[in-house]
């Protein structure tokens, strides 16, 4: 797979001043003293008060992005403190940082104005903060642990409760500064489609396989498939505009015409896409309702200094008790697909 066009570069970042970074450092040190598991902590009034202490410019930027996202659907923040970083892990599922690490607390605080963190029982054992780094055995797979081109996708395309946003915090860039997160907005891509394609993509002529990250250990023909769904939908009255749902590795049209329209949409996404190369302390926030994202290829060395991101899923509003692993929690059960 290759991209169809060079990325657009018209993107400004919110860069913190040294005083703002220092304020965040102090806030994170204080937050390490908060009691309880992260899943419980983030739902307390005390944690809400800590989130209220985020530097004013950072909090205002996040809230503005939440309420009136730009058409490109991306917010980049630079200059965030991430704490002491050990060697990049080599094996899938390593948990070397823990819930009290500065980066874990930072993403929880950033996610708070966006609705708070959620996790999925069948992805990374329900973790609320994910570690994203290359694993040698996954190099060629369309996974966050891979290193080949990862084409455009909605995060958790298969799930009825998808995160409203996706967050990626960079702890360490790749050796060659080659890896880029690619983002593309339906607001910018849809005008490139014909009226016929726009109408076709709004029909229930698409299905999505469960992603590999949710089905590790299953053979390809054992991976579940969703019920038919549209790729494009109109947003609610209080948030108008087109929304998008597809994964080029897992979503497919149920007939040749539907598949062809999906492929034309993906080409349009490549035409309008932007690419961001993150460095230590850079945060990318993506509106998962209007933006699909991907990753360029890069060359890992598996030497402890490879690219390492922390991924997290904000979700606004309450979650019904019957879709959760624990009552009052923020992790969705494996059984939530049928009930959500």
Q: Label residue 4 by pLDDT band (50, 70, 90).
A: low
Give me the pLDDT at residue 225, please: 96
User: Do residues 116 and 42 touch, judged by C-beta distance below 8 A?
Assistant: yes
User: What distance in Å separates the CA atoms of residue 305 and residue 86, rounded to the nearest whole number?
Assistant: 9
User: What distance in Å separates the CA atoms of residue 209 and residue 225, rounded to the nearest whole number?
Assistant: 4
Helix, strand, coil shares of the chain, percent, nearest 5, are: 30, 20, 50
Closest CA to 59 of 49, 67, 51: 51
Residues 6+ positions from 310 with CB-CB distance below 8 Å: 97, 103, 104, 107, 129, 130, 131, 132, 168, 169, 171
Entry pTM: 0.96
Closest CA to 282 of 193, 175, 201, 168: 168
User: Do residues 117 and 111 touch, judged by C-beta distance below 8 A?
Assistant: yes
Q: Label residue 1 by pLDDT band (50, 70, 90).
A: very low
What is the phi/psi pair of residue 151, to 5°? -70, 175
pLDDT digits (tens, 9 = 90+) for 253-269: 999 999 999 999 999 99
User: What distance in Å separates the CA atoms of residue 199 and residue 319, rounded to the nearest whole number?
Assistant: 32
pLDDT digits (tens, 9 = 90+) for 225-240: 999 999 999 999 988 9
pLDDT digits (tens, 9 = 90+) for 278-292: 999 999 999 999 999
């Amino acid at each position: 797979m290759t991209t169809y066009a060079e990325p657009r570069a018209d993107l400004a970042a919110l860069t913190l001043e040294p005083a703002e970074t220092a304020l965040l450092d102090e806030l994170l040190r204080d937050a390490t003293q908060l009691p309880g598991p992260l899943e419980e902590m983030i739902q307390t009034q005390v944690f809400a008060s800590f989130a209220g202490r985020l530097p004013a410019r950072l909090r205002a930027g996040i809230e503005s992005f939440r309420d009136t996202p730009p058409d490109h659907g991306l917010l980049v923040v630079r200059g965030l403190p991430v704490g002491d970083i050990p060697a990049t892990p080599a094996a899938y599922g390593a948990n070397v940082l823990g819930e009290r690490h500065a980066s874990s607390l930072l993403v929880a605080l950033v996610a708070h104005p966006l609705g708070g963190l959620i996790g999925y029982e069948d992805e990374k054992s329900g973790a609320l903060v994910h570690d994203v780094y290359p694993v040698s055995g996954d190099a060629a797979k369309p996974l966050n642990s891979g290193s080949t081109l990862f084409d455009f996708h909605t995060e958790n395309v298969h799930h009825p409760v998808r995160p409203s946003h996706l967050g990626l915090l960079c702890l360490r860039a790749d050796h060659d500064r080659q890896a880029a997160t690619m983002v593309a907005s339906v607001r910018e891509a849809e005008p490139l489609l014909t009226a016929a394609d726009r109408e076709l993509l709004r029909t229930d002529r698409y299905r999505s396989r469960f992603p590999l990250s949710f089905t590790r250990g299953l053979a390809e023909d054992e991976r579940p498939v969703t019920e038919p769904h549209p790729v494009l939908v109109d947003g609610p009255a209080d948030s108008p505009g087109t929304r998008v749902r597809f994964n080029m590795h897992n979503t497919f049209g149920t007939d040749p015409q539907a598949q062809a329209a999906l492929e034309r949409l993906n080409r349009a996404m490549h035409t309008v896409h932007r690419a961001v190369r993150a460095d230590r302390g850079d945060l990318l926030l993506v509106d998962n309702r209007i933006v699909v994202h991907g990753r360029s290829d890069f060359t890992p060395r598996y030497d402890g200094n490879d690219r390492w991101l922390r991924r997290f899923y904000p979700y606004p509003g309450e979650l019904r008790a019957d879709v959760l692993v624990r009552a009052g929690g923020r992790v969705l059960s494996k059984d939530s697909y049928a009930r959500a």
